[in-house]
A and B are shown apart, each in its own frame.
Chain A
């Protein structure tokens, strides 16, 4: 199956080349971090988790791309998705591969990573997250491999794969739930201490994952001979619409509980997020422009998606899916993790701003993920292009 990876037009090689360049830059930046330690990042005693863990949190969500096509296809016999289930699974593989990489680059002592397996600790949610994320990766690799082979040989897939596909559906729910549990079980972190965190993760995952899939389908429609079909893309758009509306609703629920209850420890974090907090005679509001952008983008996306005419117009849907991804990236990949630690446990505001090398390492990991997705999509398209022409 990998023979197709080394054949492609100049556009393919341009994409692969730029991703490899990005990865190289990220690896060099990581070598600096490996030698000097996490001092090269913007993290601190007060904000101990930054960009890396936030990307991990966001990408666990993107992995939901698989379940949102697998579920309608296998549980509701919605066969329009038949052509793209493997694309959803491949996107999930790319996203889920980035998750452990972001954990790895975040470790102070990466060489001791095996301690997690040498001393398995079931009372730590980190242990369970490792189990479910790696499990989800393996499940998706097996399913997509078997489905790809049977599609290539035009034979029916083996019977034993069905239970595994069914298992992948609740398993996808578990990766968001357990990742939310990392945060929402901590007594000292009122911003995260909310039972709606796991549902919020699910809602944003079910928007970001399919939105990413829409973007990829539209790119393939424009540049390759593979067409997912307007019906399938339209159904994905409906899924994104429902999930995004629920997502915005959940955020409003959080705001109401946090602000109406008027408890200072809850209020401070929201205040920091949207308006900034005072410390040492200064107002620290570095997140506020981002969070307002995210809020405005979310509302714009919901409004556009709710208008059937706009949603069905692929020229509008493409950018709207981009807006959904960007809004949710700001919310999960920047806002959630940092805000939960600002102010810190002693009530001080220590500002976190990601440093250049830290950003480069982050982009490098994204490079690896997107290279995996590119290569897997190339493989997936190769059989389809032979079929269609």
Chain B
């Protein structure tokens, strides 16, 4: 254990001496994929709840494909498949993008996460009571303001628990990037295992890092949820505006669904 750490500790965290590796790469992949997936999911989930079939169906089809095939296959399709196209190899910009696993991995993860996230958001959007939307329309709010002031703030709050799962799923999914030459935590663990034959220790260290990241993310989302759902909690106690009021530790557990 100690010698694996001595030899690969820095590589697990940020550098193998030549380039960035390990935790830094995993975090980079996660952040990029989650943010891009989120940004794509906002309009896509609106399309999924649209009354117009020509808006809704293409996005539904996209989600069906992306949620119905393995992420590994999607990653390979982009990394090997797309680069295999003559057109892509002949276009310098596209070739530069799709040649590099460091580009293909976040693209694949973001596209995949966008599909799952838009399904989560769409069901949250459907859950916003129609009466509240009517109340907003009835006082003259524009369609745009109804979305930004009423519907999204309501929907995103209710989507937090499901969305936090999705973010953790993306974190775990980034381990697939090691298959396309990206030196993330998983790749370092594999290198360490192959070089030292101490496979259990090598993968154990990787597991410990992923585990702590997952818990950190969970804790962040829990805090976020606590702050944003103050309007629903602790019945009977007077609620006042300062939202960031510290809450007793017990109330976290009580209020988990």
Whether chain B is bound by chain A comes out as no
